[in-house]
């Protein structure tokens, strides 16, 4: 008869459990690596046969039938998938920097990126983001629908000069707009609706913010000079090693909002920041903003802050793709000028 667990079993056996979990994760990753490498090799083989005119498309169909007949328990080798393997190989061959990333994602993720990306830069962007953020296939699909790549290229985050200096990596962390379509907010929602909605769907909001964000508190209390203040949302970013204060505004951005945000950041740095942490960052999350007004307001700001929009509906992806096309066309033209 086995002895029952004692109250401190988690502490006594936690390290062994961690070893088991880590071994399982490595085993799953090893299987995935082998699978992706197999698909790559098969794709390369089919590509060579077709390019050298040794095979026609009909032969690929015959291969799929042969595998189904001789290997009845083998799945994933239909005619369609075999052609996907060929496309997979041809999309990344010759690009060693990107092809090295492929085995870090499941085949489903690779297919989503391959089928929905319009250009090599977009494929690399989503490969790196999916690996870094550990997105599920569902979340990866959502980020494509939200046109994250197009927005990242054509609408970079609007940040103060102080933020660029104190946190040079912040531009890779923050965005110009955050999608909160999962809240289902009506058109005339109040700030309380937005606030409560984000708390109710905090997991989704953390995914949208990014993997390194950790929730600290809501209406976080700050006391200065005998007066009490409440910060809408407070997070900590592990990569930047700092507190991140988020103030919510359901209207358009107004320059005076920066003054209050700067006050909160000063209070956080003086009273809450730990010795090993970097200065706090402030985010004004507004329903809308005029980019020129934002530029003027941030230009003289002495706080590490940025202005971003929250959007309650997914954007018009076709419009953003058109802007992206104009962006690349303009940059190509400028690069060709003497």
**DSSP per residue, 42-96:** HHHHHHHHHHTTS--HHHHHHHHHHHHHH-TT--S-SHHHHHHHHHHHHHHTT-H
Print pLDDT tens along the chain (338 aa): 555 555 565 667 778 778 778 888 788 888 899 999 999 999 999 999 999 989 999 999 999 999 999 988 888 899 999 999 999 999 999 888 898 899 999 999 999 999 999 899 999 999 999 999 999 999 999 999 999 999 999 999 999 999 999 999 999 999 999 999 999 999 889 999 999 999 999 999 999 999 999 999 999 999 999 999 999 999 999 999 999 999 999 999 999 999 999 999 999 999 999 999 999 999 999 999 999 999 999 999 999 999 999 999 998 988 999 989 888 888 777 665 44
Least Cα distance to 181 among 230, 155, 147 occurs for: 147
- Grouping H, G, I as helix, E, B as strand and the rest as coil, residue 284 is strand
The rounded distance, in Å, linking the Cα atoms of 161 and 170 is 11
What per-residue confidence (pLDDT) applies to 338? 41
Report DSSP state, residue 173.
T
Least Cα distance to 198 among 135, 264, 138, 285 occurs for: 285
What per-residue confidence (pLDDT) applies to 72? 86
What per-residue confidence (pLDDT) applies to 184? 95
The rounded distance, in Å, linking the Cα atoms of 215 and 266 is 20
**Element spanning 177, H or E:** strand 177-179
- pTM for this prediction: 0.87
What per-residue confidence (pLDDT) applies to 174? 97
- Grouping H, G, I as helix, E, B as strand and the rest as coil, residue 76 is coil
The rounded distance, in Å, linking the Cα atoms of 66 and 64 is 5
Alpha carbon separation from 247 to 91, 155, 168 (Å, rounded): 43, 21, 22
3-state helix, strand, coil in the chain (%, to 5): 55, 15, 25
- Grouping H, G, I as helix, E, B as strand and the rest as coil, residue 321 is helix
282 within 8 A of 261, measured Cβ to Cβ: yes
99 within 8 A of 92, measured Cβ to Cβ: yes
């Amino acid at each position: 008869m086995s002895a029952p667990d004692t109250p401190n079993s988690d502490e006594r056996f936690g390290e062994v459990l961690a070893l088991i979990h880590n071994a399982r994760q490595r085993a799953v990753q090893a299987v995935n690596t082998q699978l992706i490498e197999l698909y790559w090799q098969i794709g390369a083989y089919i590509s060579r046969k077709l390019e050298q005119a040794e095979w026609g498309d009909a032969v690929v169909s015959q291969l799929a039938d042969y595998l189904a007949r001789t290997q009845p328990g083998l799945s994933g080798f239909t005619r369609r998938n075999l052609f996907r393997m060929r496309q997979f190989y041809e999309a990344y061959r010759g690009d060693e920097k990107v092809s090295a990333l492929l085995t870090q994602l499941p085949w489903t993720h690779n297919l989503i990126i391959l089928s929905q990306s319009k250009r090599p830069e977009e494929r690399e962007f989503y490969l790196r983001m999916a690996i870094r953020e550990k997105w599920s296939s569902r979340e990866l699909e959502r980020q494509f629908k939200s046109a994250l790549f197009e927005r990242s290229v054509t609408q970079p985050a609007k940040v103060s000069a102080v933020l660029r200096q104190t946190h040079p990596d912040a531009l890779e962390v923050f965005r110009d707009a955050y999608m909160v379509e999962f809240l289902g907010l009506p058109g005339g929602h109040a700030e309380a609706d937005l606030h409560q909605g984000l708390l109710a769907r905090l997991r989704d909001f953390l995914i949208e913010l990014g993997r390194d964000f950790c929730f600290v508190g809501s209406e976080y209390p700050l006391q200065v000079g005998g007066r009490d203040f409440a910060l809408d949302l407070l997070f900590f970013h592990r990569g930047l090693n700092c507190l991140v204060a988020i103030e919510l505004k359901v209207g358009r951005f107004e320059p005076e909002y920066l003054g209050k945000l700067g006050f909160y950041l000063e209070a956080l740095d003086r009273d809450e920041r730990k010795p090993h942490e970097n200065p706090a960052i402030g985010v004004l999350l507004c329903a809308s903003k005029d980019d020129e007004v934002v530029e003027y307001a941030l230009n003289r700001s002495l706080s590490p802050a940025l202005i971003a929009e929250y959007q309650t509906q997914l954007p018009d992806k076709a419009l953003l793709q058109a802007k992206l096309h104009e962006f690349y066309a303009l940059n190509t033209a400028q690069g060709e000028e003497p």
